Homo-oligomer: A and B are copies of this chain.
Amino acid sequence: MKKIMNKAEDFVDEMIEGILAANPGELATVADDLRCVVNKNKMAGKVGIATGGGSGHLPLFLGYVGDGMLDGCSVGGVFQSPSSVQMLEVTKAIDQGAGVLYIYGNYGGDILNFDMAAEMADVEGIRVEQVVAGEDVASGPKGEESKRRGVAGIFYVYKIAGAKAAELATLDEVKRVAAKAAANVRTMGVALSPCIVPEVGKPSFTLNEDEMEIGMGIHGEPGIRRGKLKPADGIVDEMLIPILDDLPYVRGDEVSVLINGLGATPKEELYIMYRWVGQVLAEKGIKVFKVYIGEFATSMEMAGASISLIKLDDELRDLLSKPAHTPFFEQKQL
């Protein structure tokens, strides 16, 4: 297991210590708990936005805490949900009287804990609303969208909700745009190699040297097809077509595209993928507003990538265009 780490049991805490040390003016912990992280920079009267989830996915989740994005994050162990108590502490720290929106991925443990945290917050007099992101079309067929896992596309939900909250919109309004963004995103992934959870010490799955798995989840959840590694354009087709068919898209639609590396895949390969994505979209008459390429939701050293598309209307485009500044994501006004 070739990881640059000290003891496996310290992996998450030392990672957080590193993130805090690298960004002393931006992030702080609350409740004396390293795993309850908030933005130091508070905008008075703003709706708070909290997320949370397992570690091992940087920049997810913690990396999007910052101006124009999220206000707080509770951090779990690698691939494990944080606790409802940690979520509650973050909620209390970021509430400024306007309420708090939870945005997180569609995973059983996270749902259970965020539900419990919302109930506890209610007892404390804090109004909480929730938007659960689930956009991986490989994990639930059409008609069973509620089964879909949340993966890299949650970036769009954070970005759009964060921009709305920064306009001092009400909790209902922030929730509305977050839900609209979540409803308009679709993602498909491909895995080429596994990752190793530090405390487990062995690969989460195996793939032969000439194989790929389409639709695999960011924790190694089974995909929809395992087969021989194809050329890049063929891989893109297998990912993009199901996304386009699902919403569905029509000529004249406008999108933003996110090509996300899962950890070990070089940026060169992500751009080779985008080359074909752009050509297919152009052929179908779908206009591309803005392209994001890089690592937005990873699985540590897993090789592979995902493609996310969000269908934009005027409101979503406007909110996506707003500036944001976090330790892992920087955008000036588009």
A301 within 8 A of B: yes
Known: A4-B190, A6-B232. 6 other contacts (CB 8 A): A4-B265, A4-B269, A18-B271, A18-B278, A264-B264, A264-B303
Interface segment, one of A142-150, A242-250, A325-333: A325-333
Please list 12 pairs of residues, one from A and one from B, whose beta carbons are closer than 8 Å in the complex, sorted by A's number. Answer: A2-B192, A2-B193, A4-B269, A4-B272, A21-B274, A22-B291, A56-B268, A58-B271, A263-B266, A267-B295, A295-B295, A330-B332
- Indicate which residue in B5, B210, B231 contacts A269 across the interface (CB closer than 8 Å): B5
- Please classify how large the interface on chain A is, using the bins under 10, 10 to 19, 20 to 34, 35 or more: 35 or more
A94 within 8 A of B: no
Query: Contact: B5 with A272, CB < 8 Å?
Result: yes
Query: Contact: A232 with B5, CB < 8 Å?
Result: yes
Query: Contact: A3 with B269, CB < 8 Å?
Result: yes
- Using CB atoms and an 8 Å cutoff, list the residues of chain A in contact with chain B: 2-7, 11, 14-19, 21-23, 55-56, 58-59, 63, 190, 192-193, 209-210, 212, 229, 231-233, 235, 263-275, 278-279, 291, 293, 295, 298, 300-301, 303, 305, 323, 325, 328, 330-332
What residues on B are CB-neighbors of A6 within 8 Å?
Answer: 231-233, 272
> Which residue of B has the minimal Cβ distance to A58?
B267
Given known A266-B263, A332-B330, contact A274–B18 (CB-CB < 8 A): yes
- Indicate which residue in B16, B278, B330 contacts A330 across the interface (CB closer than 8 Å): B330
What residues on B are CB-neighbors of A279 within 8 Å?
Answer: 21
What residues on B are CB-neighbors of A190 within 8 Å?
Answer: 4
A36 to chain B, nearest CB (A): 17
